[in-house]
Amino acid sequence: MKITVLSGKGGTGKTTIATNLALSLENVQFFDTDVEEPNSYLFLKPDFADNEQTVWRKVPIIEQSKCNSCRKCVDFCQYNALAMLGDEVLVYPEVCHSCGGCKHICPQDAITEEKRSVGKINWDLDIDGLEYWQGELTIGEASSIPIISKIKKEIKDEKLVIIDAPPGTTCPTIEATIDSDYAILVTEPTPFGLHDLKMAVELVEDLDKPYGVIINRSQQEADGIIQDYCKKNGIPILLKVPFKRQIAKLYSEGIPFVEELPKWKDKFREVIDNL
């Protein structure tokens, strides 16, 4: 089973839930796909040793001697990665999405491609039985999709897969969710939390994924805002993690709370059993 843990925004405790969930289960493969700022390593403490691979993508190069300045490639590119300066085509590789379209349509065959490094992946195959993978985007690169796609190739069918998605509801989050069997939406009981939960719900509905909600920093007097919304829309609330000083303190020390409060392992296991 592949489960993606996502939230409509950052700061809801998505990584806290994903890492504690992973540590409560057996035979887990964990993927940190928040490649702009992977941080689950802070809690799971992998040892990468030499386990590192560069991720490449292809970007166009213009052979100006063949180019007749027809502009077809410039007009074609939806990402404004090509521009005409006088008779010359300029390439902005940072914003190119490596779709290959410009090369395909050039009538002069004036476009070739070169490899460009966009980031890296790291892994530790055995953190006390847990297999860990993370991607990291090079600063300044615009698209994290090639890195997320690359680590997803390591998914093993015989494992229980937990994917910590990037925050938000844009392309990288879709890429992290699209092949999953179930989506866990992490939220917090605030108006902002509800606003972003609604965006996350829209995303998983569009992708046609079954899903449920975990309320992080739950407080009885505040939870109503999320509970009412979930009840009205028939969305199951899978678990509530309370707003407690002890949990916050463990988080600030980089300690997964299931390690100090083992009863939470049972609660997370129950969530997965119910799924």
Q: How far is the CB of 150 from ligand SF4 (least distance, A)?
A: 18
For ligand SF4, give the closer residue by CB, 97 or 120.
97
For ligand SF4, give the closer residue by CB, 97 or 267.
97
What is the spatial distance between Cα 69 and Cα 89, in angstroms, rounded to a whole number? 7
Tell me the chain's radius of gyration from C-alpha atoms.
22
Q: Let me know: does 61 contact 111? Beta carbons within 8 Å.
A: yes
Q: How far is the CB of 152 from ligand SF4 (least distance, A)?
A: 21
Q: Locate tokens 């296991």: which residue?
A: 269
Q: How far is the CB of 117 from ligand SF4 (least distance, A)?
A: 16
Q: How far is the CB of 104 from ligand SF4 (least distance, A)?
A: 8
Query: Does residue 148 sit in helix, strand or coil?
Result: helix
Contacts with ligand SF4 by CB under 6 A lie at 60, 62, 67-73, 76-77, 79, 81-82, 89, 96-102, 106, 108, 110-111
For ligand SF4, give the closer residue by CB, 86 or 191.
86
Q: How far is the CB of 213 from ligand SF4 (least distance, A)?
A: 36
For ligand SF4, give the closer residue by CB, 3 or 89.
89
For ligand SF4, give the closer residue by CB, 171 or 255.
171
What is the spatial distance between Cα 218 and Cα 105, in angstroms, rounded to a whole number? 54
| Greatest alpha-carbon span in the chain | 70
In this structure, what is the dihedral angle of CA atoms 31, 124, 13, 33, given to the nearest 10 degrees? Answer: -30
Q: How many residues does the chain have?
A: 275
Question: Distance from first CA to last CA of the chain, Å, rounded?
Answer: 10
